[in-house]
Amino acid sequence: MARTRATILDIARELGLSKTTVSSALGGSGRISEEKRALIRETADRLGYVANRAARSLRVSRVGTIGLYIPPIARSLAFYMDFAFGVTEGAAAADYDVTLFARGLTPQRAFHVDGVIAIDPSPGEPLVAALLDDGIPTVSVGRYTGPGEERVLGTLEAHHTELQIQVLDHLLSRGRKRPALLAVDDAISSSWAVDTLNTYLDWCRRHGIEPRVHEVEGNATPRDLVSAVASAVDTGHADALVCGAQGHAAQSQLVLESRGLTVGKDLDIASFAGAAALETGNPLISAIDLAPREYGAAATELLDAVVRDPDAGPVHRWFDGASVQLAG
């Protein structure tokens, strides 16, 4: 119940040393004999010492915290959640804390971080614009276009296009010549949604395949999805469904199997937005695994780099951890 933690001075007193000695012993710097260093370390964790972060921050004017901005999109939350965990893990490794930024957060609070990671920021997002305007070191995961975009210090991107083409090629190699795209009708179209549609259309053109695009609302009801799948299969004679929204692939499988169709035999299903529990790892669905945890960790690493050297100019990195999982 001891509500006051041991300080560096307690350790010093205990050993008859000075706070300077203790500090440098614990910090690794300075010239200290090895025996003393070991002794200090030992008593430090005997007393349950843990450095006061506020004091350190005040002194070194580095907060040790990164902000994480997550867009308030109802779908694909699972991806963001995993991403957030990845950020947290990467941050712990680099001795950062992660604080959550929700939309509507007053930019005031943003000053208490060393930098922020914004995942899929939509162009109109005022918080991100405010952060950039205030000169907070910011890393964008996925391209950010919008006010202040020239001040984004780092951008991390995955090879979406290449991976999507791999998936489409794989369907083709399995003889599926009429893949339909169940695209998301994205009001605040992120760069990802736009790119995805273009990739599909391009691919169709290059292969002389007639594109079949079926738009699905962002928060479609099950009934909506049933009819979308029905129109793709029955009317459009699709022999493969390519889903743009997380969860839709698994849901489409439900629809097809309930109708007596066997996925992998009668039809194929693929997902461009994998990483859902029911999609990635499902042997019947070809999916892109964005590896959200590793993605998040990579974002942290990038942020750390630009925080350490803010004048390096905008840096762009590719994330190589994403992969495709091909079915059949």
Partner DNA sequence: CGGGTTTGCGGGAACGTTCCCGCAAACAAA
Partner DNA sequence: TTTGTTTGCGGGAACGTTCCCGCAAACCCG
Residues found near DNA in the complex (CB under 7 A): 4, 7-9, 16-21, 23-24, 26-27, 29-33, 36, 49, 51-52, 55-56, 58-61
Residues 294-323 that bind its own copies (CB under 8 A): 310
Indicate which of its own copies, DNA, none lies near residue 208 (CB less than 5 to 8 Å, by partner kind).
none
CB atoms within 10 A of CB 177: 13
Asked if residue 84 lies in contact with residue 68, where contact means CB atoms within 8 angstroms, the answer is yes
Nearest approach in angstroms of CB 123 to its own copies is 21
Note whether 129 binds its own copies by CB under 8 A. Answer: no
Note whether 17 binds its own copies by CB under 8 A. Answer: no
Binding residue (CB under 8 A) for its own copies from 42, 46, 111, 314: 111
Please provide the distance, in angstroms rounded to a whole number, between the alpha carbons at the two ends of the chain.
Answer: 59
In the chain, the amino acid numbered 54 is A
Per-residue CA distances from 136 to 12, 32, 280 (Å): 38, 38, 35
Nearer to DNA, 49 or 144 (CB): 49
CB atoms within 10 A of CB 88: 19
Per-residue CA distances from 236 to 64, 157, 183, 229 (Å): 54, 34, 15, 10
Indicate which of DNA, its own copies, none lies near residue 250 (CB less than 5 to 8 Å, by partner kind).
its own copies
Binding residue (CB under 8 A) for its own copies from 77, 187, 194, 201: 77
Over its C-alpha atoms, the chain yields an Rg (Å, rounded) of 25
HEC per residue, 117-164: EEECCCCCCHHHHHHHHCCCCEEEECCCCCCCHHHCCEEEEECHHHHH
DSSP category for residue 255: H
With CB under 8 A as the rule, give the number of residues binding its own copies. 63
Binding residue (CB under 8 A) for its own copies from 9, 38, 92, 312: 92
Q: Interface residues with its own copies (CB under 8 A)?
A: 1-3, 5, 50, 52-55, 57-58, 63, 65, 68, 70, 72, 74-75, 77-78, 80-82, 84-85, 88-89, 92, 97-102, 104-106, 108-109, 111-112, 135, 219-223, 225-226, 250-251, 253-259, 277-278, 282, 284, 310
